[in-house]
Structure 1
Amino acid sequence: MNEKAPENFQARFETSQGDFEIEFTRNLSPKAVDRVYQQISHNFYNGIVFYRVVPNFVAQFGHMDSTATVNNWDRYKVEDEPVKGSNLKGAISYARSGQNSRGNHLFINLKDNKRLDTVFYNKVKGFPPLGKVTKGMEVVEKLYSGYGNETMEVYDSLAVKRKEFLKKFPKLDSIKKVYILK
């Protein structure tokens, strides 16, 4: 949990729709970029689904396996940091539910969402971007979005019941593998 990320690094996301790449920039949100670097280095996002894809808004993913999160990653939340970048199309940010709650769930902006830079959500201002999609944005835009926000209500109630969740939403796209490019 103390490993620092390089100032800039790229990661490839191999998905059920194809591959895309994200360049992460540490000075945008140092603690959050360190966290995502650690998670990618430990295969945290391999084999998970894009559980929320809202057309013309965001594509969101994160871990719903409580043994992978509660026992390990959830104990260490990322402290809040100021918004230094902007949630433009292709930018990636951690989702959060309040103060110092960033940790396991990321979203990619499907359009310019500048309001996410300044919106107050549970006493916290904005969602600091960590980087941006540099290759394959067309892949991100192809992720299955037919469920929209419907998945969020069910996700909250079934959070650790992955099989039930996937049975209810069988068309969700997935991340096969994520790795850092050398």
Structure 2
Amino acid sequence: MRYLPCLAACLLLVSCGDKPAPPSKKVTSSVPLKDQPMPDVYKVLFDTSKGSFVVEVHKDWAPIGAARFWMLVNTGFFNDTRFFRVRPGFIAQFGLSGDPQTNSMLSATPVDDDPVKQKNMKGTISFAQGGKRSRRTQMFVNLKDNSDLDKDGFAPFGKVTLGLDVFEKLYSGYGEWEPPGRGPNATRILTEGNNYLDARFPRLDKILRAKVVR
């Protein structure tokens, strides 16, 4: 298997004499989101074809995975992508771009492993991997207690805190991916992107957009 909302501060001006103080003003940082430091805990809102859900990320659970996720969200990686592997009662997998060039670039930059500090319980999210230093962009949400995955190095970096029911609505009729099933082939998603998925698997549910929220 296989960056923080804009900073805001209130500027309080001291009154002079009997003149009332002006109202507080909101000051917004001009630093691009992706260039702002990643907080220890942050939330990401996903809007999908079946509703919205929120992932709460904890840096101390898996710092490398949390940083990779921060980068992916804040560069728009998840926008217009698909849930390409949905196995009810097990996992829902996503995290391949609809653009082959993006897939090629990020596939060439795997990240180091995190030790497993949290169990793969229902609602947690982990990067997919196939061995040492193989984590790239694919990830899955556990749809049940999958703590048996802990020993295989799947390190949860966050959990779904709102909208877990969305995953129960995702289309799963294509079955397991190919091989051995009749679902999408991961290699073809990598090399052909959404053109392949939309032509061959038009009923797959979509991630419309993802963004960091408070």
Q: TM-score, normalised by structure 1?
A: 0.89
Paired residue secondary structure (2:175)? coil
RMSD over equivalenced CA pairs, Å: 1.8
Distance, in Å, in 2 between the alignment partners of 1:164 and 1:66 is 10
Distance, in Å, in 2 between the alignment partners of 1:37 and 1:137 is 20
1:115 aligns with 2:148: yes
Distance, in Å, in 2 between the alignment partners of 1:151 and 1:176 is 24
Say which of 50, 54, 58 aligns to 1:25: 58
Q: In the TM superposition, what are the counterparts of 1:167-182 in structure 2 within 5 Å?
A: 167-182=199-214
Paired residue secondary structure (1:141)? helix
Q: In the TM superposition, what are the counterparts of 1:33-182 in structure 2 within 5 Å?
A: 33-64=66-97, 65-71=99-105, 73-119=106-152, 126-151=153-178, 154-159=184-189, 160-162=191-193, 163-182=195-214
Distance 1:101 1:87, change over 3 A: same
Unaligned runs of 5+ in 2: 1-33
Distance 1:135 1:67, change over 3 A: same
Larger Rg: 2
Distance, in Å, in 1 between the alignment partners of 2:109 and 2:132 is 13
Offset, 1:152: 5.8
Bigger relative contact order, structure 1 or 2 (CA pairs below 8 A, ≥6 apart):
1
CA shift digits 1:48-101 (9 cap, x unpaired) = 000000111100001243211223x22321101110001111000000122101
Q: TM-score, normalised by structure 2?
A: 0.76
Of the structure 1 ranges 144-153 and 127-136, higher mean CA displacement relative to structure 2 is found in 144-153
Unaligned runs of 5+ in 1: 120-125
Distance, in Å, in 1 between the alignment partners of 2:161 and 2:186 is 31
Distance, in Å, in 2 between the alignment partners of 1:4 and 1:102 is 22
Runs of 4+ in structure 1 off by over 6 angstroms are none
